[in-house]
Amino acid sequence: MKNEMIHFNLELEKAESGDYGSMVAVAIAYASGIGVDMDHERRDFWLGKATNCQKPEILAVLGELYDEGRFVEKDETKSVQLYMDAYGLDRRLGGYALGKHHYSRFMVGHDNHDLVEAHRYWMEAEKAGHFTSWVSRLLLEMREHFGAVRRLKARMKWIRLMLSIRTHLGKDDLFFRFWRIDDLRDRFPKLCQIVDRRLSQR
């Protein structure tokens, strides 16, 4: 408890000095009661200040909090606006966040419009150099939603990806969690054998 209070006070000092990341940390502390008494008014105050930043990584995090209803009430309209603000500043981070948002909506409502939008934003982020968006788009195309021809092309892209990428990934990377999705392994057993052999050699 004492260490949590010390950490909170340090983050509060940085937040009061204008550090936007610390503003988010302080807001979460007030929302969860870690290191300080819960106070939703103070939470909202610091979240409000953080939304005024011009840092895409902060805006994307804030968007995710409202998107998932973590530490705040779920607010999809606000989350999308924050994602769009991030996208306007950085197509890599904002595009990935918007793609993830639309794919999550698709998984709940199965609206093909969301699927198309997820693919579009991930492709935009990929073009801007965002690696995880590349992986996400390939995984999307490998699943059954985009047709057999695209899946066949995606298999070849996937093999080239695994043969060429060595340093981007760690054992806890999002990529590895995606790769263990059972339906992918059931659908592409031979491809999985190739990838597993390559992973075992890393």
> How far, in Å, are 21, 92, 93, 94, 197 from residue 56 at the CA level?
11, 9, 7, 7, 37
Are 40 and 75 in the same domain? Answer: no
Residue 34 sits in the same domain as residue 24: yes
Q: Which of 15-19, 49-53, 164-168, 188-192 has the lowest mean pLDDT?
A: 164-168
pTM for the complete prediction? 0.73
Do residue 62 and residue 91 come from a single domain? yes
Residue range 154-198, pLDDT digits in tens: 555 555 555 454 444 444 444 444 444 444 555 556 555 655 565
- Is the distance from CB of 126 to CB of 134 less than 8 angstroms? yes
Any idea which residue has 């043969």 for tokens? 163
CA–CA dist 14, 21 (Å, integer): 9
| Structural domain containing residue 16 | 1-52
94 and 186 part of one domain? yes
pLDDT digits (tens, 9 = 90+) for 115-150: 889 999 999 998 998 878 887 887 777 665 455 445
Domain count, the chain: 2
Indicate whether 105 and 138 sit together in one domain.
Answer: yes
Query: Rounded CA gap, 100 and 107, in Å?
Result: 11
Co-location of 33 and 132 in the same domain? no
